[in-house]
Amino acid sequence: MIDISNVFRLGTTHTLSATTSSGATATSAFGAQTQTVMVTTTAACFVAFDPDRPATTSSTYIAAGTPYLIRVQGEGSMCSAITGAGTASVYITELTR
């Protein structure tokens, strides 16, 4: 039997251009049904999901080229990103069940 408990519907994809000073740049708010997001990035960066606390280099580290599934609080949540050096494209896809 196939376990489909980890199967999601793809929703809106947000794209951030992360730089060493972009922590305050954030996506628009996630949809009310969004409880999980998939984050991938083209270069190592740091992400945060609190609209009141932008990403810093002390935030959650995301390695390049690896998709991460992250649980979020739903409506009102958003993602911000910053790099330690250089630039990165950060792709945040909202997922629902």
Low-confidence ranges of the chain (pLDDT < 70): 1
Q: What is the structure's pLDDT at 61?
A: 97
Q: What is the structure's pLDDT at 64?
A: 97
Q: What is the pTM of this model?
A: 0.90
Q: What is the structure's pLDDT at 24?
A: 85
Number of folded domains that form the chain: 1
User: Which residue range forms the structural domain that includes residue 17?
Assistant: 9-96
Place of tokens 């998709």: 67
Q: Which CATH number goes with the domain that contains 42?
A: 2.60.120
> What tens digit of pLDDT does each residue of 47-68 get?
999 988 999 999 999 999 999 9
Q: What is the structure's pLDDT at 74?
A: 73
CA distance 32 to 23: 24
* 73 in any annotated domain: yes
